[in-house]
Amino acid sequence: MTQRLTIIGTGYLGATHAACMADLGFEVLGLDVDEERIARLSAGDLPFYEPGLEPMLRRGLASGRLRFTTSYGEAAGFGDVHFLCVGTPQKAGEYAADLTYVDAAVAALAPLLHRPCLVVGKSTVPVGTAARLAAALAGAAPAGGDAVLVWNPEFLREGFAVQDTLHPDRIVAGLPAEQGAADHAEKLLRELYAGMIGAGVPFLTTDLPTAELVKVSANAFLATKISFINAMAEVCEAAHADVTKLSEALAYDDRIGGRFLGPGLGFGGGCLPKDIRAFMARAGELGADQALTFLREVDQINMRRRVRMVDLARQLLGGSFAGRTVGVLGAAFKPNSDDVRDSPALDVAASIRAQGGRVTVYDPKAMGNARRAQPELDFGESALDAAAGAHVVLLLTEWAEFRDMDPAALAGAVAERNIVDGRNALDPERWRAAGWNYRALGRP
C-alpha cells in the first residue's frame, strides 16, 4: 500500500521534502501553523528562493498529490508517516537550541494519532531529544506503542536543496530500541526511499542518539574545515603568504580534499553557526564539554573574519569610515540563496554603517530579507548602483554575477578604485590590470 505522508513544518527543509516526495509519487500533506505561508504554498508561491523548487511545488499541486493545511486534525487523519521538519533555532542569549517548535508539534499531533503510524524526525536536534519525544509520543498517542518514532536527519544545503533531497549522500535511520518496532520502521523507511536505495544511496540504520549525532557532527566537521583554512588565512596575513595557493595545494591531498576549504569571510546561515553552538551546549549538559571546546575556537575564528574584513576596509579608507561611501556586493549568507540568517555579508555591512560609513548593499535575491533585517542600510538596484560613488567596494557573497563583473565597467561607477574580495572569488590580476587596488582576506 502506498504510504500517505504529512510534512510538519514547511520551511526550507519541509517545503523541499514535501515537494520532492510528491514528485516521487507519494500523496503528501504539508502542515504549518503559519497561515500566510500555507496560503502561499497552496497557491504555488514559494516563500523563499531555492533553484528548481517552485516548478516542482507547482507540479505537485497540479497533480493533486500535494496539498497544504494548518490543521493537525487533518494531518493526523491523513498520514501513515509524519515527518517532523520544524526549525530548531538558537535560543536568544544562549548557545542551546530552542526546541519549542519540535515539542509543540509532537504535543499537537500525538493526542490525535488513533491508528498505527510512523513519526519521522528530520529536524536538527540536540542528542537525546528523540528518546524524550518517543516517550512523549507513546504516552500521549491513543495508538500508544503503535505510534513509532524514528530519527532520519536531513543534510540538504540551501541552493541545492532539491538535488540533495533526491540524491542524498546517505540515508541515516535512527531506530527505536524495541526490536519489533525497529524492524517495522526500517521496512517502512526502506519503502519510502526505495528509489534512492535502488540507485545506490547507502542506507544506514543506527540507534536514536547516533542518528541525531550524525547530523550535528557532520556540520561541526564542515565548520571546522572552513575555520581551519580561515585560521591559515590569519597566519598567511601575518607571514605575507597567499592562502588561496595554500588551499589549492592542500586540496591535492585527497585525505584533505578541497571542498569546504574555501578561505574568506567564513560561514553563516541558519545551520552551521547555531548547530555548533547547540552542540557545545548539549555536550556541556552531558558532561562532555571538554570534547567540544575546540568548537568555541572554530566559532571565534569564523567571527574574527568579519572583524578583519571591516578592519581591512577601514584601513583602505585611511583609518575611518566617517563620511566615506562603501558599496557592498552581497547580503545572502552564500550565493544561490536569499537567506540572510547570520549572514557574514550583512553583519559586515551593518558594522560599517554603525562605524559611520554610508553603506549601499546589493544582492541578486536577498534584498527583501536584507531590508527587513537591516532597515537602516541603503540598498541599490544593481551592483553598479551599489558601487556608485564608493570609496571602497566589498565583495561579500560570491554570486556568479559578481564573479563575472567587468572591472572596467565598475571603475566607471566608483569614486575610488578600492576593492576587497571577501570570498577570494575574483582574479586579482584582472582587477589590478584595470587600475584597481585589489585586496583580499588571507592574501598579500
What is the distance between the alpha carbons of residues 202 and 172, in angstroms, rounded to a whole number? Answer: 8
Q: Is 329 in the site for ligand UDX (CB under 6 A)?
A: no
Q: How far is the CB of 64 from ligand UDX (least distance, A)?
A: 30
Q: Is 157 in the site for ligand UDX (CB under 6 A)?
A: yes
Residue nearest to ligand UDX (CB): 262
Taking the least distance from each CB to ligand UDX, the nearer of 182 and 349 is: 349
Own/partner pairs for 165-168, CB < 8 Å, 24+ apart?
Answer: 165/16, 165/17, 165/20, 166/20, 166/23, 166/24, 166/196, 167/196, 167/199, 167/201, 168/196, 168/201
Q: Compose the 204-223 pattern: x for residues touching ligand UDX by CB under 6 A, - for all others.
A: ---------------x--x-
Among the candidate windows 60-68, 88-96, 173-181, 261-269, which touches ligand UDX by CB under 6 A?
A: 261-269
What is the distance between the alpha carbons of residues 57 and 60, in angstroms, rounded to a whole number? Answer: 5
Q: Is 166 in the site for ligand UDX (CB under 6 A)?
A: no
Phi, psi of 383 (to 5 degrees): -60, -45
Q: Is 158 in the site for ligand UDX (CB under 6 A)?
A: yes
Among the candidate windows 54-62, 126-134, 139-147, 255-263, which touches ligand UDX by CB under 6 A?
A: 255-263
What is the distance between the alpha carbons of residues 278 and 129, in angstroms, rounded to a whole number? Answer: 12
**310 burial level (CB within 10 Å; 0-12, 13-18, 19+):** buried
What is the distance between the alpha carbons of residues 442 and 234, in angstroms, rounded to a whole number? Answer: 6
Q: Is 262 in the site for ligand UDX (CB under 6 A)?
A: yes
20 flagged as catalytic: no
3-state secondary structure of 157: coil
Taking the least distance from each CB to ligand UDX, the nearer of 251 and 411 is: 251
Q: Is 20 in the site for ligand UDX (CB under 6 A)?
A: no
Take residue 207 and report the three cell numbers written for it. 540507534
Q: How far is the CB of 148 from ligand UDX (least distance, A)?
A: 24
Check if the beta carbon of residue 106 is closer than 8 Å to that of residue 141: no
Taking the least distance from each CB to ligand UDX, the nearer of 7 and 181 is: 7
Q: Is 155 in the site for ligand UDX (CB under 6 A)?
A: yes
What is the distance between the alpha carbons of residues 301 and 235, in angstroms, rounded to a whole number? Answer: 12
Tell me which residues touch ligand UDX (CB under 6 A).
Answer: 155-158, 219, 222, 226, 260-262, 264, 266-269, 271-272, 333-334
